[in-house]
Amino acid sequence: MSNVLILGATSTIAAEAARIYAGRGDRLLLVGRDPDKLAALQKELSTADTLKADLNELDAAAKLASECVSRLNTIDIVLIAHGYLGDQLRSESEWSEAELILRTNFLSAISLLIPLAQHLESQGHGRIGVITSVAGERGRPRNYTYGAAKGALGVYLEGLRSRLQGRQISVTTLKLGPVDTPMTHDHEKHALFGKPPAIAADIVKAIDRGAATAFVPWFWRPIMAGVRATPESVFQKLPFLSGR
């Protein structure tokens, strides 16, 4: 049995991951800001405890991490799963929207990773998984503020992973493609959209094996390799890549 901390636990994907962990008998601490959704998950999952928190309150992150450590004592697995797609057009003209996207998808994760990584380092073991996005692989007009936040988070995780190597602590960067969730409810769906149960299963497997980077689903790895390799002059002429 493992002690599992899920931050942003009320998101659709995180809730599915919680069900997988609970199904194998792990003890869970689910952290999120929606008390009704937390209560519903706790009622469904007998091994789950919950904690209400706004993960965007950056100055409260150290205190929150301390409370999580107090609740679980030993933390074997950390999954950071919260995010905010935001409004790209608004972020291009309103700093408040751009700041919210950056805060939620980048700064918030770092504010939590600092104290939690220190705790795992002091206990001498643990696994960290952080959900990022394939949007961070290349700046595209339709979502480049969000992509910038996720790309920066990926760089931070790479450094954290190198820092913790050899200390029995893995750091897994989970690069998700688009998923059919409430966050993408107004997006036109296509064959590449993932389904939350399958995405969550891939996430849990990647963290369990201590993967450095996992594209979820797997086929985004070759797709994004091609996207990254496309020269910018060509990239800008391809509407399916550089269009709104």
- Would you state the pLDDT for residue 117? 98
Residue 240 makes CB contacts below 8 A (sequence gap 6+) with: none
Check residue 93 and give left, alpha or beta (phi > 0: left; psi -120 to 50: alpha).
alpha
pLDDT value for 237: 83
pLDDT band at 184 (very low <50, low <70, confident <90, very high): low
What's the CATH class of domain 3-242? alpha beta
With a pLDDT cut of 90, the percent of the chain lying above it is 86
Q: pLDDT (tens digit, 9 = 90+) per residue, 1-57?
A: 999 999 999 999 999 999 999 999 999 999 999 999 999 999 999 889 999 999 999
Q: Is pLDDT at 182 greater than 80 in this prediction? A: no
C-alpha to C-alpha distance for 147 and 142, rounded to whole angstroms:
9
Q: Is the bond preceding residue 217 a cis peptide, omega within 30 degrees?
A: yes
Q: What is the mean pLDDT of residues 154-160?
A: 98
Query: How large is the average pLDDT for residues 58-71?
Result: 97
Least confidently predicted of 108-112, 133-137, 190-194, 225-229: 190-194
